[in-house]
Amino acid sequence: MLESDPAMRRPRSGGRASPPARDREPSGVGRVRLLLIVAIAALVSALVAPTQATAVEVTFPLTIDYEVLRTAVRKHLGEASGGALELWRTPDGCGTFVVRDPVLEPADKRLRITGPASATAGFPLLGWCFGSITWTGHAEILARPELGHDWQLRFRDVDFRLYNGARQPATVATRLWTVVRDWSAAELETFSFDLGPPVEEVRALLRSFSTPTGSLATALQTLRPRELAVEPDAVRLRVTLDLPPAPPVPAAPERALTRAEIQQWEALVDSWDGFLGFLVKDVAGGADPETRTELLDLLLTARREVTAVLGRGPEVGIDPVRPLFLRFWDRLRAIMRRAGSKGSDDARALRFVVFLAAGDALTAIEAAAPAAGLDFSADGLRRLARTLAPGYAGDPLEYSDAPDPKLQELFRFRDPDSPARRIRRKPGAAPRSWLPPWLTPRSAHADEADEWRELSERLDRWVPTASELAAYREIVDRLLTLAAERSFDGEAIGDRFDDLFRDLVKTVAWQESCWRQFVRDRSGIVPIQSSTGDVGMMQINVRVWRGFFNPVKLRWNAGYNAGAGTEILWQLLGRYGIREARERLSDAARASYSAYHGGPRRYRRYRSPDTPPEMRLVDRAFWEKYQTISAGQAGDRVLCMPARRAS
């Protein structure tokens, strides 16, 4: 019995007995080796095996303002004259129900159409209505918006309510109540707002930003509605698309750009500048003063950024427009969202919907999948700009250095050569003598325009010698005084800023150029110019102020440059400086210079604790100069010369 047990059998001749089970197990060192081999094999397998990357889901909003929906509902229900909705009318005219001036607004995840209402009901007899009853109160229709896969926005779960004049639930004749309720529900449930066309426009716009090798063109086929939300400011549709995984892009070797590539890069930066200028002019046309100020702020800030980009120069493989678009989109979107919601043109309101949705989609795609292959080309920007003005005959990205009359008019910038805003000198009063006898102008009683022209001509290419400094300083002093008088309008901001503005202009000219327009170099007499393109006595950046002033005159005409700088200071004083004059009047001057030097958004720089030390020194130097000018103690120091000692 024991031998029959396999465990007890002996081996056949010539064989060896198997070792005990414990002897077949690996030792501690062997076990570690085995685990290392398994781990290495798994790692190699993971590296060699192809990875199954998943698509990236990108969601962006498509926003429909309540005013757009309200207009669509009123058209569907048949708006009567005077802005009233006739919800019900019997064929004989004896029964009517009218809602006047209806408002569409959010109400707890639903939409509410509400307004003053009136009803009549009677019996027709021989063309007359007898036994008529009337009711006046308030009507309220609640409905839940719903969006199908066909991109049609519809109303569901319609609820009709009536209130009396005290906004308490009202009782109305049963027959009238039933008919009006059923009719309104039936009409509203047949309402649809087609979002298909704007979605298709967004799809086409995004396609124009896709590179030939990018994944965006494929992703656009997956565009679909995700959810619809009733929010306090609008109905917001979330639109989704799936971006397939982008293959890794090998790093391009570092190399120097060719001249043609540099020119192409600069042209692309110019296209962004043209794009933004076109949008600003388009939106500012129907905007209120506050929105126009925001648009001007945005334009100037963006152009300062462009100037910085151009100063750094191009980089191989880096799209200069992409970061600019992403940096300024949120500000641009907020302004355009508000401006679009205030318009009365339904077609234009829908164009804003498309424009904003396309911009939101671009920023969402860039944030979720930077390797998706977006190309912020001139053609893409051009098509995006035309969304707002499809009938525009010119090129919306046109770049020109010439003064733009529309830009000047929209933001009320006065050209320095144009007449003064307000004649300051009393009729018949002669200008004071500001020249020594040998430099007396040809007409001692010249009017304001003649005096301005003569002063500008006298300073033409004048780099004063030591013996001419006194005459030069007196002429520039008079020029700056006259420049301030030509731009200032006390009726607009108050006469209390009159002296402040004159001193501000003179101080800025001292701070920026030491009252100089020209210098001598190896080539001869040339305009003063900084490395960033700031030119002349008031150091005006030609790029930032493109379209507002003539760039040639800014360089070669001292009077024009002084007048342009004065006009800029006038605008900054009126928009920002006077906000800071609550505690001290002189703070208006400090704020205006901070905005002049650092951009409109920096008008509080002079008192901000976060101001960088180097900018704090700039503002402190301005403040010291301003106090010196106000006290009449500047003397020759405005020419950056030490004050003369009294003999």
The torsion angles phi and psi of 242, rounded to 5 degrees, stand at -110, 120
pLDDT of residue 179: 72
pLDDT in tens, 124-163: 776 677 656 777 888 888 999 999 889 999 999 888 888 8
Q: Which residue has the higher pLDDT, 35 or 607?
A: 607
Residue that the structure tokens 């002084």 belong to: 562
Instruction: Indicate the residue among 152, 174, 192 that finishes a domain.
Output: 192
**Residue 9 confidence (pLDDT) above 90:** no
The stretch 585-602 carries a mean pLDDT of 96
Q: Are residues 204 and 185 in the same domain?
A: no
Check pLDDT > 60 for residue 643: no
Task: Give the rounded distance of the alpha carbon of 529 from its chain centre.
Answer: 30
Give residue 647's pLDDT.
Answer: 41
pLDDT at residue 34 in the model: 56
515 token code pair:
């009252």
pLDDT score recorded for residue 346: 77
Q: Supply the range of the domain harboring residue 367.
A: 197-245+258-399
Do 461 and 509 have their domain in common? Answer: yes
Q: Characterise 5 by phi-psi region: left (phi > 0), alpha (psi -120 to 50), beta (else).
A: beta
DSSP at 341: H
Same-domain status, 518 and 502:
yes
For residues 311-332, give the mean pLDDT: 88
Residue 11, in any domain of the structure: no
Whether 383 and 444 share a structural domain: no
Q: Rg of the chain's alpha carbons, rounded to an integer?
A: 37
Least confident of 104-118, 297-311, 363-377, 494-508: 363-377
Backbone torsions φ then ψ of 135, nearest 5 degrees: -145, 140
pLDDT for residue 163 = 86
Both 298 and 170 in a single domain? no
Render pLDDT for 186-229 as a digit per residue (tens, 0 to 9): 878 888 999 999 999 999 999 999 887 777 888 899 999 989 99
Torsion angle defined by CA atoms of residues 558, 569, 502 and 508, in that order, rounded to the nearest 10 degrees: -60
What is the pLDDT averaged over residues 525-551? 95
Look at 113 and 24; give whichever has higher pLDDT.
Answer: 113
Cα-flanking dihedrals φ and ψ of residue 56, to 5°?
A: -100, 125
State yes or no: pLDDT of 57 exceeds 50. Answer: yes
- 239 and 366, same domain (yes or no): yes
Clarify whether residues 224 and 187 are in a common domain: no
| 425, 285: one domain | no
Which of 168-182, 368-382, 536-550 is predicted with the least confidence, judged by mean pLDDT? 168-182
- pLDDT level of residue 553 (50, 70, 90 thresholds): very high
Proportion of the chain above pLDDT 70, given as a percent: 82
The answer on pLDDT for 427 being more than 50 is: no
Examine the pLDDT at 283 and tell me if it is beyond 50. Answer: yes
Among the residue ranges 12-16, 196-200, 284-288, the one predicted with the least confidence is 12-16
Report the C-alpha gap between 364 and 166 in whole angstroms.
48
Q: List b or e across 275-308, with b for residues whose CB sees 16 or more CB atoms inside 10 angstroms.
A: bbbbbbbbbbeebeeebbbbbbbbbbbbbbbbbe
State the average pLDDT for the chain. Answer: 84
Q: Is residue 203 domain-shared with residue 175, that is, in the same domain?
A: no
Residue with tokens 């031998």: 3
Q: Distance between CA 368 and CA 345 in Å, rounded?
A: 35
Asked if 593 and 633 sit in the same domain, the reply is yes
With residue 273 as reference, give the H or E element that holds it.
helix 259-284
Residue 595 pLDDT exceeds 90: yes
Distance of CA 518 to the CA centre of its chain: 37
Instruction: Specify the pLDDT at position 173.
Output: 58
Mind giving me the DSSP string for 293-335? Answer: HHHHHHHHHHHHHHHHHHHH---TT--SHHHHHHHHHHHHHHH
Q: What is the mean pLDDT of residues 354-373?
A: 87
CA atoms within 13 A on the CB side of 89: 11
Q: Is residue 629 part of a domain?
A: yes
Both ends of the chain: CA-CA distance in Å? 140
Q: What single DSSP character describes residue 420?
A: P
Q: Which residues contact 459 (CB under 8 A, 6 or more apart)?
A: 475, 476, 479, 517, 558, 559
Residue 15 lies in a domain: no
Q: Are residues 104 and 121 in the same domain?
A: yes
Question: What's the rounded Cα separation, in Å, for the pair 251 and 340?
Answer: 42
- What the block records as the tokens of 313 is 């120069």
Mean per-residue pLDDT for 48-65?
Answer: 76
475, 459 in Cβ contact below 8 A? Answer: yes
- The full DSSP string for 357-392 is HHHHHHHHHHHH-GGG-B---HHHHHHHHHTT-TT-
Is the pLDDT at 172 greater than 70? The verdict is no
275 within some domain: yes
- Does residue 31 lie in a domain region? no
Whether residue 406 is contained in a domain is answered as no
Given a contact cutoff of 8 angstroms between Cβ atoms, the answer to whether 306 and 321 are in contact is no
Q: How confident is the model at residue 513 (pLDDT cuts 50, 70, 90)?
A: very high
d(CA 394, CA 82): 39
Express as a percent the part of the chain with pLDDT over 90: 53
Specify the pLDDT at position 507: 98
Q: What would the pLDDT profile of 82-98 be if each residue is shown by its tens digit?
A: 667 777 777 777 778 88
> CB neighbours of 495 closer than 8 A, spacing ≥ 6?
none
pLDDT class of 40 with cuts at 50, 70, 90? low
Q: SS3 of 186, please?
A: helix
Inter-residue contact 256 to 166 (CB < 8 Å) = no
What pLDDT score does 438 carry? 47
What is the structure's pLDDT at 42?
A: 53
Bigger pLDDT: 482 vs 162: 482
- Do residues 235 and 228 lie in contact, with contact meaning Cβ atoms separated by under 8 Å? yes
The two structure tokens encoding residue 504: 């501000």
CA distance 18 to 28: 22
Q: Which of these three, 172, 192, 212, is where a domain ends?
A: 192
Q: Binning pLDDT at 50, 70 and 90, where does residue 426 land? A: very low
Residue 2 lies in a domain: no
Quote the number of domains for the chain: 3
- Do residues 231 and 337 both lie within one domain? yes
Predicted local distance difference test score (pLDDT) of residue 534: 96
Q: Is residue 221 part of a domain?
A: yes
Q: Which of 161, 176, 192 is the last residue of a domain?
A: 192
Q: What is the mean pLDDT of residues 162-173?
A: 75
- Residues 306 and 551: their CA atoms lie apart, in Å, by 17
Distance CA 481, CA 504 (A): 10
Q: How far apart are CA 304 and CA 276, in angstroms?
A: 13
Place of tokens 């971006």: 243
pTM: 0.81
Q: Which residues pair with 230 in a beta bridge?
A: 235
